[in-house]
Amino acid sequence: MTKSDASIEIRDLYKIFGNAPKHYVEAVRNGLSKADLANKHGHILGLNNINIVIPAGKIQVIMGLSGSGKSTLIRHINRLIEPTAGSIVIDGRDILGMSELELREFRRNRTAMVFQNFALLPHRTVIDNVTFGLEVRGFDKARSRETGMRWIDRVGLLGFENRYPDELSGGMKQRVGLARALSSDASILMMDEAYSALDPLIRTDMQTMLLDLQMELKKTIVFITHDLDEALRLGDRIVILRDGTIVQQGDGQDILLRPADDYIQRFVKDVNRGRFIKVEAVMDEAPRADSTSLPRLKVSTTLEVAAKELTNSPYDEAIVVDVVGKPMGLVSLRQITAALSATGETDRKKVELTLK
């Protein structure tokens, strides 16, 4: 496995805060609620039976409202917080079994963090902030500067390397934080509400830059957010937490088309579904023999684009083709409209019947 690869498996993870947390794990497993644990026993349930498999080279988004446990969870991946029970297996090894020295090396070489509040050192220039981690690891100054300048260029800050943080905008500061994380060449990149403090336009630009970099770098990224639009745009897979418990996990198509409960439904109700749902999520998988004259839509075309193309076409159906032009299925304007209009439990059932 190369350094750019790192799979993460979080298994049966519990975190209870208090004086005797291990004493209550079994009770929580057996149904003791977060409220009763706090009110009757004076302990706080942070994470409850978390199970997530994060494939190497993918973006895993963890989202939820304030207090849902998402920041607590991400800090378990590099053991900044110790779990009460469970395991965190990275590249086949449970990091809970690492010695203090092994854990220190793991944190320095395998993981990097990008913070919401930038966490830049105010007395150091941009280049000195970017190379700080390399200096800690013992890299010589010339090598550190060469690496740092390469990443400063990649994040669009060339010419600002000798500026100080107080001379930069919020978006520029976050680019410095990203360059610092990438300069470490860590296989796991953790981003805790990294773009939450940015203005909407700058935030969109940063999302685009991250996706462009990810196409090349294939890092394993754990991205924390409370914004579903951001989660849907960035995440290969999404986990939604509530009160320390996973409510639903899957890709964006699953969550938008099949919300697990009313809590998830409230999350998705105001999302522009057409921007995120892809034609392959609603198509019939076998094109008819008489459909060869129909227009083609490429896989991963959004419903928003597909609806426009079919509305302006003499046809109300199109063949969905893969990246080499091979037919994958058939999608109709009726299916697209049904998927775009689903807003509640009754509508979801109608869509499922329509898509069958």
Provide the pLDDT for residue 137: 85
- Note whether 217 and 317 are same-domain residues: no
Mean pLDDT value of segment 221-250: 95
Is residue 344's pLDDT more than 80? no
Provide the pLDDT for residue 108: 87
**Strands (DSSP E) found in 168-229:** 188-192, 220-225
* One-letter amino acid of 173: K
pLDDT in tens, 19-59: 999 999 999 999 999 999 999 999 999 999 999 999 999 99
Residue 180 lies in a domain: no
pLDDT in tens, 120-164: 999 999 999 999 988 888 888 999 999 999 999 999 999 999 999
- Map residue 12 onto helix, strand or coil: strand
Using CB atoms within 10 A of its CB, is residue 117 exposed (0-12), middle (13-18) or buried (19+)?
Answer: middle
Mean pLDDT value of segment 184-212: 91
- Note whether 329 and 205 are same-domain residues: no
- Note whether 229 and 314 are same-domain residues: no
Instruction: Let me know: does 46 contact 17? Beta carbons within 8 Å.
Output: yes
Provide the pLDDT for residue 346: 40
Is residue 293's pLDDT more than 50? yes
User: Percent of the chain, pLDDT > 70?
Assistant: 93
| Residue at a domain's end among 224, 247, 268 | 268
Residue 129 lies in a domain: no
Residue 73 lies in a domain: yes
Range of the domain at 256: 8-110+186-268
- Note whether 200 and 319 are same-domain residues: no
CATH no. for residue 262? 3.40.50.300
Is residue 347's pLDDT more than 60? no
pLDDT tier, 287 (very low <50, low <70, confident <90, very high otherwise): low
Average pLDDT of the chain is 89
Is residue 352's pLDDT more than 60? no
- Note whether 229 and 319 are same-domain residues: no
- Note whether 82 and 35 are same-domain residues: yes
Provide the pLDDT for residue 5: 59
- Note whether 203 and 330 are same-domain residues: no
Provide the pLDDT for residue 115: 84
| Residue at a domain's end among 244, 268, 292 | 268
Provide the pLDDT for residue 290: 65
Q: Is the pTM above the cut of 0.85? A: yes
Tokens of 115: 């913070």
Is residue 17's pLDDT more than 90? yes
**Number of compact structural domains in the chain:** 2
pLDDT tier, 198 (very low <50, low <70, confident <90, very high otherwise): confident
- Note whether 261 and 280 are same-domain residues: no
User: Percent of the chain, pLDDT > 90?
Assistant: 71
Instruction: Let me know: does 78 contact 107? Beta carbons within 8 Å.
Output: yes
Task: Return the bridge partners of 296, or none.
Answer: 319
Mean pLDDT value of segment 230-259: 94
Residue 217 lies in a domain: yes
CATH no. for residue 297? 3.90.1280.20
Residue 61 lies in a domain: yes
- Note whether 278 and 264 are same-domain residues: no
Cα 265 from chain centroid (whole Å): 19
| Residue at a domain's end among 253, 268, 283 | 268
- Note whether 200 and 324 are same-domain residues: no
Residue 166 lies in a domain: no
Instruction: Let me know: does 85 contact 13? Beta carbons within 8 Å.
Output: yes
Is residue 348's pLDDT more than 60? no
